[in-house]
Each structure stands twice: as C-alpha cells, then as structure tokens.
Amino acid sequence: MLIVLFNLAVFLLLMLLLGKLSRRGQSLSRQVLTGLLFGVAAGFIMQTLYDTNTIARTLEWVNVVGSGYVRLLQMIVIPLVLVSILGAVSRLHNATSLGKISVLTLGVLLFTTAISALVGVFVTHTAGLNAADLVQGARELARAEQLEAQVASVANLSVPQLLVSFIPRNPFADMTGASPTAIIGVVVFAVFLGLATLSLLKDEPELGRRVIGGIEALQALVMRLVRLVMKLTPYGVMALMTKVIAGSNLQDVVSLGGFLLASYVAIAIMFAVHGLLLTFVGVNAKRFFTKVWPVLAFAFTSRSSAATIPLNVQAQTRKLGVPESIANFSASFGATIGQNGCAGIYPAMLAVMIAPTMGIDVLDPLWLATLVGVITLASFGVAGVGGGATFAALIVLPIMGMPVALAALLISIEPLIDMARTALNVNGAMTAGTISSKLLGQTDEAVFNRDEETDTAVPAIG
C-alpha cells in the first residue's frame, strides 16, 4: 500500500508541475504535449519497476483523473451538438445551404473510408499476414464465442433499417445517449428545430428573433461550459497516457507485432492521404496537422471519437477557420459514420487475412470491389450497432461470407491499435470539415493562417 501511495504522490506532483507550467501562459497545445510526455514517463517507470498487481492498484486511482475527464467530455457532447447544430441551422439563409454542407461532408467521409479500405487491403497483402498464423488461447476462445453470439443481432440489419434508425422516435431519450444512434438522432432533431426556427422567422419575424436570441444565449452558455472542461485536457491526457503505457503487456505486443505494425503503417498512410486531399483543395497540410495534433493526442489516449467532439469542433472553428455549421456536422457525423480507422482499415485487414484460408484471391477485381463497397456502406452500420471496429467487423465479415472469430484473436493488442484508429477517425472528421469548408468558400483564412503561438492560452486550474 505504501508503494501505491508513493506512486500517487508522484503523480500528484506531476499534475501540480503541469499546472505551474500552464500558469506561465503556455498555449493549450504545449500544455497537452507536456502532459503527454509526463504520462509516457510515469507509465514507463511503473511498467519497469513494479509488478502487475501494484500497477493495477495504482492505475485504479490514476484512472479517476483520466476516466473522469472523458466522462466530463461525454457529459457535454449532447448539449454541444444540440445547441450548435440548432444555432448553425437557424442562422442559415435557406435549406439549400444545409443540403450542400451535409452532402459534401458525408461524401468526403465515405470517400476517405473507401480509400482506407483499399489501404488496409494493400498493407495486409504486402505484409503477408494470414489468419492461419494466429494462435487461440482460452481468452481468445471466450471472446470468439461472444462475437458469434453478437453476429445474430447484427446480421438482420439492412441499410434501409439503419437509415430509418437515424430518425429519433424520442429525441429526449436520444439526449440521454440511450441508443447507439443517439448523436445522429440529436443532429436530426436539432436540424428540424433549426428549420422550424427559420420558418418562424419568416412568418413571424419578431417572435423568430426572440427565439434566435434565446438560442444564441444558450449556445454561449454551453460554449463557456466547453471551455471550462477543456482546461482539464492536459491533465486528462497525462492520466490516460500513464494508463496506456503502464498497462501494456509487452509479451502480447511481441506475439502479435506483425499485425500491430501493419495496422500502424496503414493508419500512417491514411494520415498521408488526408494530407494529400487537403493539399489538393488548397489547404496547407503541415499547418493543419500542427493545429489539430492536441485533438489527435486526446483521441489517441481516450479511444473515444464521441468524447473528442467538443475538442474537434473547437479546433475546427478556432484554429482552422471552419464555420460552426460545417464543424458541428463533420464532427458529429464523423464520430459515427465513415470512420476511416474502425470502419475502413480494420475490417479490410481482417478480410484479407481470412481470404487465403478460404481459397479467395484478394487481388480479384470483383472480390476487391465488393469488399470496398460493403465496407463503405457498412460504415453507416457502425453507428447503427453501437460503434467500434469490432462491430464493423461483425457487419462486413458475415456479408463477405467469412467467420468473425479472427477479431477475437487480436483482443490482447486491441487497445494499442484502437488508439491510433480513433485518432485517424477524428482526423478524418476534421479533414472532411476542412475540405467542405474550403470547397464551399467559407473558410476564414485569417484564422487558419494565424500562428499557433498567438492563440490564447488556456488559463490554469486554481
């Protein structure tokens, strides 16, 4: 117990040091970087010096900070999405603008998902990964049984059913996050409320202006809440990274190192693809990544696209010059639809690993086109069944006539891969918003070109 108390005292000291650095006026980006480095150092030292039991007991308390911060972000996701989409739609001149934003944002998300599937196929085939080379243990067998049981609930879902599931029957239930499609349901509800506000403003201008005034006041309040929570980002990142490093199992990493390495190579290639797409539409990719990396760092450590929505929107509007309407749509849609990492790369890699064991030529054009098409359409389905790479595999593999048990064999390194996949998902959403904004001519170039050092630093806690 004394060792655990000592570890917690050191962790608290690091947090106080991080707070002292923030009081010197550092930008949020530098604060996050410092917290990230502190977390890596603390986790590595714990992994080196202590046994599994001591690490677990220490992380139980460290996790109060990390999970607590994630929960705070999850707390503000629904209010932020509701008031931001409502405010954005109510300020549009007509519904045509809304249609252009939605179609363009979704188009970019789905296009990049299709590319990510091809990247997953290419990297897996080039690396020569094969499902027959993986070994099953008791833990993997138990996980395989769980996945097989879940397939039945997923297999009956069709694309029309998934699309209908996006329409909320009870928007107040969706605001509690009760359903897998809660975020999309809140977006749909907010859009219709915004359209109703536009109609009211046209028919009864005075009453409409009062309603818009109320919406703006509510939006200002929620954004103030977002900024309060964002002050805690460096501390949350430090705690989450400590947990990741200290809780990693080196033996599992080594045994499945081939798949882990191939996954990171595929993800790195997709980050490069995002950069190329941004460059193609006239966006400085280097400046883009410099401005968004704190958001990616949080996505990496938290493994939650939904929890990253507030940081995603904040980065797009305050650093990339993307209008609130586009930023909120891309962040909300990108958290549930068209996830490049979870819904694109991962199921493609699994399919290519299984194919040789079934006598399938992965380079067959027809099979390849079918796989990419299924993955792209199934990226809608990920939201319909709760999100995540595993659910994407549960949709794609049965449609392709393949078993889902392979996903269970990778359970030991799943968290390590999922961190990078989540960062790619979030970057895909920000890329979609930035490209859409640029193509629609709505990007504030002055904000985008502003140097990071001139951004206002986040005030210190206490």
**How many Cβ atoms sit within 10 Å of the Cβ of residue 214?**
11
pLDDT value of residue 458 = 41
pLDDT value of residue 388 = 65
**pLDDT tens-digit readout, 347-367:** 899 899 888 888 888 889 999
Beta-carbon contacts of 114 under 8 Å, excluding residues fewer than 6 positions away, are 344, 372, 375, 376
- For 2-450, CATH number? 1.10.3860.10
Most trustworthy range by pLDDT among 207-221, 402-416, 440-454: 207-221
pLDDT value of residue 385 = 42
Beta-carbon contacts of 154 under 8 Å, excluding residues fewer than 6 positions away, are 381, 385, 391, 394, 395, 398
Q: What is the mean pLDDT of residues 162-168?
A: 73
Residue type, 64: V
Pairwise CA distance, residues 193 & 198, whole Å: 9
Q: What is the mean pLDDT of residues 397-423?
A: 77
Pairwise CA distance, residues 97 & 187, whole Å: 16
pLDDT value of residue 180 = 60
**Confidence band of 145 (pLDDT split at 50, 70, 90):** low
**pLDDT tens-digit readout, 222-253:** 888 888 888 888 898 899 888 888 877 666 56
pLDDT value of residue 456 = 42
Give pTM, 2 decimals: 0.79
pLDDT value of residue 459 = 38
* Cα–Cα distances in angstroms (integers) from residue 107 to residues 110, 122, 324, 347, in the given order: 5, 23, 19, 20
Looking at every residue in the chain, the average pLDDT score rounds to 82
- Yes or no: say if 327 and 436 are a contact pair by the CB < 8 Å rule: no
For residue 26, pLDDT over 90 is answered with no
pLDDT value of residue 453 = 52
Tokens of 424: 């790619």
**pLDDT tens-digit readout, 264-299:** 999 999 999 999 999 999 999 999 999 999 999 888
pLDDT: which is higher, 413 or 453: 413
**pLDDT tens-digit readout, 299-308:** 888 888 888 8
Across the chain, which distance is largest between two alpha carbons, in Å? 70
Tokens of 397: 């593999």
**pLDDT tens-digit readout, 414-460:** 778 888 999 999 999 999 999 999 999 999 999 999 876 544 444 33
Weakest-pLDDT range from 22-31, 341-350, 370-379, 428-437:
22-31
Question: For the chain, which residues make up each domain, given as ranges?
Answer: 2-450
